[in-house]
Structure formats: C-alpha cells, structure tokens
Amino acid sequence: MRSIRKISSVTFFLALAGLVCVPRFGAARQPQRPDLSALFDKSEVMIPMRDGVKLHTEFYKPKNAAARLPILFSRTPYGISSPDKGISSMIYRYADLVPEGYIFAFQDIRGRYGSEGKFVMLRPLHDPSDAQGVDESTDTYDAIDWLVKNVPNNNGRVGLDGISYDGFLVTMGMINPHPALKAASEQACMGDTWLGDDFFHNGAFRLSYGFEYTALLESSNENFSFAFDRFDVYDFYLRLGALRNANTKYFHGKLPTWNEFVAHPSYDDFWKRHAVAYGLKEPTVPNLNVAGWWDQEDFYGPMATYARLEKSDSKHLNYLVAGPWNHGGWGGGPGKSLGEIPFGSDTSVYFRQKIEVPWFDYWLKDKGSLPLKEALLFQTGTNNWRQFDSWPPREAQTKNLYFREHGRLSFEAPQTDSADASDTYVSDPAHPVPYRHRPIDMTYPEDHPGSWYTWLVEDQRFVDERPDVLTWQTEELAEDVTLAGQVTAKLFASTTGSDSDWIVKLIDVYPQQYPDDWKLSGYELMISDEIFRGRYHQSFEKPEALKPGEVTPFTIDLHTADHVFKKGHRIMVQVQSTWFPVYDRNPQTFVPNIFEAKESDYQKATQRIYRSKRFPSSVEIMTLSETPATAGS
C-alpha cells in the first residue's frame, strides 16, 4: 500500500473521545486540562488470555486511597499509551469521575499497538463448539477476571465504558459477562455496519469513510492516514472512477476489510455475525445507551441496540440518553453548540456530570440515585432535556407529511386521481450531489479544521438550486409541531435505469427573519435523513433489479428524533439519488456486485417521485400533542 501517513494514538483517541473538538483527528490546540499524573500510581501489565495471547493493559490506582474502589475499564483499538510513557490521555475522558474515586484500566485489543495476536475488524463471536475459541467477549471476561484478582484495593465491581469502536467492545463485553461486571455504557456503538453504521446504510456503501477508515486501521498495527493528492476529496473520488479501481490503484488486495466489502456487498451471514444483535439478545447488566442526534458515524447502533434490548428488558436494565451531539461529542468540551446551531447550555458537561457520573456511582459504589427513569433526551428546537418512561413515547400519534403539487408539503393527502402526478429529475453519476459544501476535505484531517464532524448540521441551501434535488415544504407553521419518535419515508418512485439510490432528508427551515440569531435566518437544518439502495427493495439479502419505468414502493427508515418545529418555521423534505463521496455512486444499471462494476455501467437515469391519490409519497412522523416534562438539572 502507498500514500499513507501515521496518526499518533493520542491524537486519534483524543479525537474519538471528544477531547479535541475541531479538528478531532488533527493538530488542534487541546483545551487546558489539569495534570492528573500526580493523583495516580500507574501500572503497566501484559494480561494473558485463555489462548496464551497477552494484551497490553495500563491501570491507574488513586494514591493513598483508603476505601476499596471500583474499576472503570475501557478497551480500544486506537492505542492507550502516551508517547512519553506518562499518564494515558484516555484518563482525561473521565476527568469528572476522578474525584469520585475510581481505579481506571485501559487495554489495547489484540493485534493493536502493545497487544499480541492478530487484529480482526469487528471480530465476531467464536464458534461455541470451539472450547479454546476467543473473541472480544472472552477477552473482556479474561481481562476483568485478572483485574479483580490482581489490582490492589479494588471492591470487586467493574464498569465498562466506551465510544464508537470502544462502544462496540462494551456490547461484546456484555455477552456472557464476568460476574464482576456490574454496569456498562455503550456509547455510539458500531451496532450493525451494514444496516446503518460506519460502512453501509441500507446497502449503500459509505465510500469516503470506508476507504479512509480501513486504510487507517489496517495499514499496520498503528494508525495511518491515506495521503490524498488533492484537498477536495470529492474530486479525488470522482477521478477514482468505478469502485474496483480502489484495489487496482491503491490497496492491491492488502486490506482485509476492503476485501470483505468486495466479497460481501449484500447483507449476508458475514455482516450479521459481526453485528451486535448476533450475540447480545437481551440485557445482562445495567446498560446506558448513549447517542448523538447528529452523529456522523454511529447513530444507528445505540438507538437500535436500545430498541432491541428493550423488548426483553424485564429487569429494567436498559436505559437511553440522546443529546445534540456529533460522534462522541459528549465525551469532551462544553457541548454548547454544534456548527452554527446553539443549544443554550453546556449539554456535554451536563451529560458527564449529571448523568454519567451518577450512573456509575449508583451501580459501582451504591451511591446516590439513578439519574434517569428510562430515556433522557435533549429536545432540539426547544433546547430542553426531557424525561420519558419509554422511547418512542407510547402516547405519540402518527402523521404523514405528503408530497404535493408545486413543491408543497402538507398533512393533507393528495386527492388527484391522476396516477402519473409526479416530479422528476435526472440523476447523473458523472455529476453527483455533494453531501456537504465543497471543497470536501478528508474525513480525519491532521493539519487543518475539518468539516466531517459538523456536516449533518450544515445549511442545506447549498443544494437548493441543484436540478437533481427535489424539494417540498410546508407553509409557515401556525403552531409548534412536536416530533417525538420514528420518522419513515414512504416513497413511490420509478427510474429509467435498473437500480437507483434514494436519499430522503427531513429539514427544519428557519424563518427568513430570525432576530434571535441572524446568521440562522432561512437556515435549512437536517433533522432526519437516510439513504436506501433500490436493489434491496424486496430483501437486504438478495438484491433485485428494478424494472425501468415501474412504480415501486420504498420504505426508508429515517430513524428517530426528538425535535420541535417551531411556529413560524417550515418543514421541508428533499429527495435525491446521490450523496457523494460519503456514499458511492449507484451505477443505475443493475450489476451483481457494484464493487466490480465497470465504468460503462454508470449511466444517467430519470427519476420520478409520485404524489397522487394512488401513489401518495410521504414522510411519516410520530408527534406529541403535549410537551413532556423537563428534566431536572
């Protein structure tokens, strides 16, 4: 492999944990922070696993601690050690827990940095018939077993915590958990990387993220960043051409995960075995699921994990927090705003001090009370924390926002009897719609502020004049509309091609005169969004060509939201067929495997979205007529 550059483990972790704000994976000025090294005695060990492989681990015991203390444990592929061999930067993620009295333990997972063994991306569970088999669940069990037996002055209770890949490792640790594991918090876990997290969404491949992330983790056992030959990666990926050129020009078959992308383009057993749902089917320990409404990497994972575990949560072990954050944004910094969008308070500080600290204190130290009843969500639009007994709320009602003539969006269904009533656009793979303002820089820039971290809150007016983006919007709202729960797009569409992608965005349009914050006048803020690859309209497992010109229904999960569209705002829906280069271009000609498509397969297509009485395209939302109670601060 060529064209890579090393990123330090400290920079990478600080970024992931939210301790570097913009850019996360770059040489940004780090916030002032206390010197915690004088407070702890550091120990560095190699902990043996059941198969003899040893994993590099550091643990930090508070000096002169009189009482026995719980262990807060975090495992990561991103490197735990400080370059100067001093205190690990990981401990600063838990600065608010330090005064409470905890032993902190951090571990490099197998095959990464100081740990022995072979690294496997999202290592699946081992075959249960193999008594010597290992996976992240067994490694977590063995590590906890060693820690409680060997770390001096621990109280026999362990908590697991982690964000993103580290959150995935938390979920793995809850499968057949060690008896000492008494609390967990999976945060932005990579729950299912084909259905809705890092690598695919509903079958559409996350090109720029998948390309750069696999190069980052699999070029060696440390972090290496792909060195682009131009700043605007939109141009780079367009010049790359067909997906098959990634291996031909750059990877040469040497990156295992990229090869798995090629070998498994559809939702087969390979992806299902890597998903959290394969092994974690019911709550086993108290778990705090944490999500960010504008998480650009793993919003699907924690919400889907919460929803699935809730079905079997007879012991009330399953909890949810969602806030106005990007990926890991709650882990550091104040959380007062994201991009241009203000939230009126320090939401990240609130999470760390008022939710996370009491959560672990309650389960690991028998201290205080639980900080939430069931679901604690930050309601965007009003900028208030809300408590719910369930999520989505049981009392929520379903309403449809229908696509109408002349670009209108209405709660009233279309009445036209003409089945052909529709709007059209031409989708050209040679001129795809950018997913954020150009120039589009690399995902994890090292030497300049990056915009990957805030693209989901960018003003969508940058695509308003694109002829290949359709828009419908309501009149100014006469009263507030409270969205609380599931958002689902129900499209009736046709294409002149034999395959197509459909992107749907639900948008809050601010008033043209907005004296509260003039720079937000007319702002178009995405609230919910998703992509769907048309070939999977019948089954995620078995792709089928679309029939040219035939009206086909598509149901697209736009996930969940807690947002108030304020009086005087408008609600907008946009539909398009490219979102480049965060997603690869659909050739719009059906081929068995898009990773092996030829340049000639990429063809223009005319897309038609229907809005008739017979084919009433809409976005279905769950709404509340009354505002829920505000959470105490």
Contacts for 296 with CB less than 8 Å, ≥ 6 apart? 326, 327, 452, 453, 455, 456
pLDDT band at 31 (very low <50, low <70, confident <90, very high): low
Provide mean pLDDT across the span 84-112: 96
pLDDT band at 27 (very low <50, low <70, confident <90, very high): very low
Residue range 146-183, pLDDT digits in tens:
999 999 999 999 999 999 999 999 999 999 999 999 99
Burial of 383 (0-12, 13-18, 19+ CB in 10 A): middle
Q: Are 124 and 174 in contact (CB under 8 A)?
A: no
Which is it for strands 40-48 and 4-7: parallel, antiparallel or unpaired?
A: unpaired
Name which of 73, 81, 145, 144 is nearest 102 in CA terms. Answer: 73
Tokens of 265: 């383009």
Provide mean pLDDT across the span 421-431: 98
Is residue 216 predicted with pLDDT exceeding 50?
A: yes
List helix spans (H) across 65-151.
136-150
* Predicted structure pTM score: 0.94
Q: What are phi and psi of 38, to 5 degrees?
A: -75, -10
The pLDDT of residue 444 is 86
The pLDDT of residue 453 is 94
Range in 28-37, 134-143, 505-514 with the lowest mean pLDDT: 28-37
Is residue 14 predicted with pLDDT exceeding 80?
A: no
Residue range 529-580, pLDDT digits in tens:
999 999 999 999 999 999 999 999 999 999 999 999 999 999 999 999 999 9
Where do the domains of the chain lie? 10-192+279-388, 200-270, 397-433+468-624
CATH architecture of 200-270: Orthogonal Bundle (1.10)
Q: Do 10-192+279-388 and 200-270 show the same overall fold?
A: no
pLDDT band at 220 (very low <50, low <70, confident <90, very high): low
Name which of 370, 255, 348 is nearest 19 in CA terms. Answer: 348
Compute the distance between CA of residue 528 and CA of residue 504 in angstroms, rounded to an integer.
8
CATH architecture of 10-192+279-388: 3-Layer(aba) Sandwich (3.40)
- The DSSP line for 211-274 is HHHHHHHHSSSSEEEE--SSS-HHHHHHHH-STTHHIIIIITT--HHHHHHHH--S--HHHHHH
Tokens of 163: 């964000």
pLDDT band at 36 (very low <50, low <70, confident <90, very high): confident
Tokens of 515: 């004296």
The pLDDT of residue 416 is 87
The pLDDT of residue 160 is 98
Residue type at 263 in one-letter notation: A
Compute the distance between CA of residue 21 and CA of residue 70 in angstroms, rounded to an integer.
30
The pLDDT of residue 16 is 45
Helix %, strand %, coil % for the chain, to 5?
Answer: 25, 30, 50
CATH number for the domain running over 397-433+468-624 = 2.60.120.260
